[in-house]
Amino acid sequence: MEIVVASGKGGVGKSTITASLVQLLADKGVAAVDADAEAPNLHLLLDVKEWKEVRDIISAKSAYITDKCTQCGACDNVCIYEAIEIKDGVHRIKDYLCEGCGACRAVCPVKGAIVIEDALSGWIRIADTKHAPLVSAELDVGRPNSGKLVAEEKEIARSWVKEGRAKHIIVDSAAGIGCQVIASISGADLAILVSEPTPSSLSDLKRMYHLTKHFGVEAKLIINKDGINPTYRGLEEFSENENIEIIGRIPYDKAVPGSITSMKTLVEYAPESPSAREMVKIAEYIGGML
C-alpha cells in the first residue's frame, strides 16, 4: 500500500506525523519517502547521520554563452527570466535563474555563441534509518523539475517493494498543490490529509482534497493542533459535507517542538505525551488497513 501524508498548507505537521508513522508502522515493513524536494527534512526527524548513497539527477537544461559572443544584447532582450547579466562588459548566464528554454539561442545572430547544456537538477539520497529505509531528494538552487525528482524517488521505493525490502510506502509530501505534490499523490492508495483548525488551513485543505479526488485517491483527515481554536468548526463541517473520515485529533502539545529540536520522532521523544498517544491510535488505525 502507498500512503501519502499531504496538506495544502505548510507548517501543519506533515513531517512530524510521517516520522511517527514510520516508527510505529516499522513492523509492517514500511519504506519512507521525503517528497519535499525543495525543503527536505524527514531525515532530520529520523536521525539520519550519514547517507548510504547520493545520486546526481541530470534532468534540467541551462544556457551557456561561449567566446563566440559579439555582445549584441539580443539574448538579454528576450530572456523573461532575467537570467542574463552583463559583468565587465561581457554577457553571462546566471545558472540559478536559467530555465534552459532556448529563447536566447533562438534569437542569437551568431551560430554557436549560445549552447544549451544538460544541467544538474538535484540529488536523490538513500539511507537506512533505525526504523525503515528512506529515500529523499534535494533540488539544486533555482532548478525546475522537482516533480521529476519525486517521481524518481517513488520509483526507487517501489523497487524496494518489488525486491521484498519493504511492503508498504509512506510518502511525506510537500506543501501546496504544485508539481512535486502531484507526483507524490499520483499512484497512491490513500491520502492522509493534515490540517489545523483555522480558516486559512481549511482553504488550502479544500484545494488538496480536490486534487486527491482528481486522481481518485481515497482521503482521510487528521486535525493537528486540535484545541487552538475551540469555537471553530470549519474542518468538521467540511469533513461531514465531503464524507471524509477524521481519523485523529492531535492536541496542541509542547512535546512536538521538543521532538523537532531533539531530531527525534514524537513517539520516541515523549511517548506518554497527549500528542504521542494520539499518534499511536492513528497508527493503529492505519496499520489495520495494511
**CATH of residue 168:** 3.40.50.300
**Are residue 274 and residue 143 in the same domain, yes or no?**
yes
CA distance 221 to 133: 26
Mean local confidence (pLDDT), 101-118: 95
Residues 6 or more apart whose Cβ sits within 8 Å of residue 83: 63, 93, 94, 97, 98, 99
pLDDT value at residue 141: 79
pLDDT value at residue 207: 94
Q: Into how many domains does the chain fold? A: 2
Residues 6 or more apart whose Cβ sits within 8 Å of residue 72: 109, 110
- Among residues 69, 92, 120, the one where a domain terminates is 120
Mean local confidence (pLDDT), 131-154: 87
For residue 54, being part of any structural domain is answered with no
pLDDT tens, residue by residue, 114-130: 999 998 889 999 999 99
For residue 142, being part of any structural domain is answered with yes
Task: Give residue 213's identity as a one-letter amino acid code.
Answer: K
- Among residues 83, 101, 120, the one where a domain terminates is 120
Domain containing 80: what range? 59-120
**Are residue 264 and residue 193 in the same domain, yes or no?**
yes
pLDDT value at residue 128: 95
**Are residue 137 and residue 113 in the same domain, yes or no?**
no
pLDDT value at residue 171: 97
Does pLDDT of 228 surpass 80? yes
Percent of the chain's residues with pLDDT above 70 = 99
Average confidence score pLDDT of the chain: 93
Spacing of C-alpha 42 from chain mean position: 10
**CATH of residue 91:** 3.30.70.20
**Are residue 205 and residue 95 in the same domain, yes or no?**
no
**Are residue 283 and residue 199 in the same domain, yes or no?**
yes
Residues 6 or more apart whose Cβ sits within 8 Å of residue 226: 197, 249, 250, 251, 252
User: Which contiguous run of DSSP H or E holds residue 275?
Assistant: helix 274-287
For residue 245, being part of any structural domain is answered with yes
Confidence of residue 145 (pLDDT cuts 50, 70, 90): low
**Are residue 139 and residue 209 in the same domain, yes or no?**
yes
**Are residue 23 and residue 68 in the same domain, yes or no?**
no
**Are residue 231 and residue 155 in the same domain, yes or no?**
yes
Residues β-bridged to residue 219: 191
For residue 53, being part of any structural domain is answered with no
